[in-house]
Amino acid sequence: ETGVTQSPTHLIKTRGQQVTLRCSSQSGHNTVSWYQQALGQGPQFIFQYYREEENGRGNFPPRFSGLQFPNYSSELNVNALELDDSALYLCASSLPGANVLTFGAGSRLTVL
Amino acid sequence: SQQGEEDPQALSIQEGENATMNCSYKTSINNLQWYRQNSGRGLVHLILIRSNEREKHSGRLRVTLDTSKKSSSLLITASRAADTASYFCATGDNNAGNMLTFGGGTRLMVKP
């Protein structure tokens, strides 16, 4: 049984660019959530996808968007990158109806 | 924004000692969870306590929940150097038990 995998692990972008981060959920998990973790802080909920639709959203602007695919994998897209978008982006998957999340190792984004 | 505060923000102890971390939250909850994070990597689930439970044990971990005070504590007994990590509490509400709101974390260092 594989866990949650994320790619890329590290990337550097410049202000105004766009980025796509990818996540493969753990086998059997159909719900995927994305979190942003700034340095020295706790993760903040961005949004959650269930059955290929956005199921809930945190306090993030529309330039943060996502997709979930039929195999439950997911993408996080961020447009018009800002310096404050520099963070560790964490993907987590969960079983249907379960409250416990299984996290990936994260994608560290640096915006210059 | 974070759900609440964790206290202390940093804790340094000797191997064999007990470590206690506290978490406060602001809104009604369905469950409270504790996660561990090593060196800015992914989070690992440790334990979940439901809003109708007051105490839960798992190995060397003991979690308490006081919903009247909106607070929880995590006790790690007989700590080991390998317990060195950041520990986060996270809450899920009744409408979205797995859309978690995290605290700011406690950075624990266990000295050998």
Taking only the tens place, the pLDDT of each residue in A17-71 is 999 999 999 988 999 999 999 999 999 999 999 999 999 999 999 999 999 999 9
pLDDT digits (tens, 9 = 90+) for B49-65: 999 999 999 999 999 99
Query: Which residues of chain A neighbour B99 with C-beta distances below 8 Å?
Result: 33, 45, 48, 56, 58
- Residues B46, B35 contacting (CB under 8 angstroms): yes
Alpha-carbon Rg for chain A, nearest whole angstrom, is: 13
A48: left (phi over 0), alpha (psi -120 to 50) or beta: beta
Exposed/middle/buried for B5, CB within 10 Å: 0-12, 13-18, 19+?
middle
pLDDT given for residue B96 in this prediction: 78
Residue A1: is its pLDDT beyond 60?
A: no
Q: What is the mean pLDDT of chain B?
A: 93
Query: Which residues of chain B neighbour A98 with C-beta distances below 8 Å?
Result: 98
Single out the residue of A75, A84, A87 nearest to residue A34, CA to CA: A75
- Residues B2, B91 contacting (CB under 8 angstroms): no
On whether any CB of chain A is under 8 Å from the CB of B30, the answer is: yes
pLDDT given for residue B3 in this prediction: 58
Q: Which residues from A are below 8 Å from B when comparing CB atoms? A: 4, 31, 33, 35, 39, 41-45, 48, 56, 58-59, 88, 90, 92, 94, 98-106, 108
pLDDT more than 90, % of chain B: 82
Rounded distance between C-alpha atoms, residue A105 and residue A23, angstroms: 10
Cβ contacts of B108 within 8 Å, gap of 6 or more: B10, B11, B12, B13, B19, B21, B76, B79, B83, B84, B85, B86, B87
pLDDT digits (tens, 9 = 90+) for B25-39: 998 999 999 999 998
